[in-house]
């Protein structure tokens, strides 16, 4: 299976939340909800008046079976797609999609929108436990200073990543992990899971062969 790298050449990458919740007494009944930005947008921005769009080639060229742009900021599948496959579910539909009707909403939905950034009220995501969420994946920031647009604008003369943005990410991620640990201690269970996006990106760069055929677009 070919892996996909995200084409966030003009967007900063911020935290995202992916939620697996149980909405019935049956253990196997799970819904999958996604909140975040371009890393996990499955096409919401196709329905919005925004310049942050992924509805033209080369986006989607590895997306089976159509090989056409889907609104995902990727050449193929994105993170929610792989999670949906792992739990045996259909890919999450954008919440703005006209196809998301009736019982389909009970299977989950994708509320992500590219370029959304972090809002002052982002902390409301941690109330999801009260709404039935029992596994919440929370990512930190990726290597912000290494995004192609930032390399072009603020990178070093020899292609080094932006020092300022890298420092910001290095300050943010450890504090996010500590906050999540504190929440889990209050709840008495590992409900919230910190995902090390920065290390994942470095793994792609350092050991690309371990992830199949990777296509990079900038």
Say what percent of the chain tops pLDDT 70. 79
E strands in the chain = 3-4, 17-21, 31-35, 108-110, 133-139, 192-195, 214-215
Higher-scoring residue by pLDDT: 3, 196: 196
Rounded to two decimals, what is the model's pTM? 0.74
Residue 202 and residue 20: Cα distance in Å, rounded?
Answer: 27
Average pLDDT rounded to a whole number, residues 7-35: 53
- Give me the pLDDT at residue 137, please: 87
Tens-place pLDDT, residues 114-123: 887 666 555 5
Mean pLDDT of the chain: 79
Under a CB-based contact definition with an 8 Å cutoff, are residues 71 and 46 in contact?
yes
Mean pLDDT of 21-41: 69
Judge whether residue 142 has pLDDT over 50.
yes
Cβ atoms of 66 and 60 within 8 Å: the answer is: yes
**What kind and span of H or E run contains 27?**
none
């Amino acid at each position: 299976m070919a892996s996909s790298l995200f084409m966030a050449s003009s967007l900063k990458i911020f935290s995202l939340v992916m939620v697996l919740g149980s909405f019935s007494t049956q253990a196997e009944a799970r819904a999958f909800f996604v909140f975040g930005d371009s890393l996990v947008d499955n096409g919401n921005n196709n329905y919005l008046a925004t310049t942050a769009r992924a509805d033209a080639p080369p986006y989607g060229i590895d997306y089976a079976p159509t090989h056409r742009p889907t609104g995902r900021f990727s050449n193929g599948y994105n993170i929610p797609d792989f999670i949906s496959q792992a739990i045996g579910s259909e890919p999450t539909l954008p919440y703005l999609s006209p196809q998301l009707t009736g019982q389909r909403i009970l299977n989950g939905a994708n509320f992500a929108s590219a370029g959304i950034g972090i809002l002052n009220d982002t902390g409301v995501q941690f109330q999801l436990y009260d709404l039935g969420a029992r596994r919440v994946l929370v990512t930190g920031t990726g290597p912000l200073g290494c995004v192609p647009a930032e390399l072009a604008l603020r990178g070093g003369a020899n292609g080094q990543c932006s020092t300022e943005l890298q420092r910001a990410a290095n300050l943010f991620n450890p504090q996010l992990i500590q906050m999540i640990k504190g929440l889990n201690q209050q709840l008495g269970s590992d409900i919230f899971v910190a995902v090390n996006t920065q290390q994942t990106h470095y793994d792609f760069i350092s050991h690309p062969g371990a992830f199949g055929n990777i296509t990079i677009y900038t």
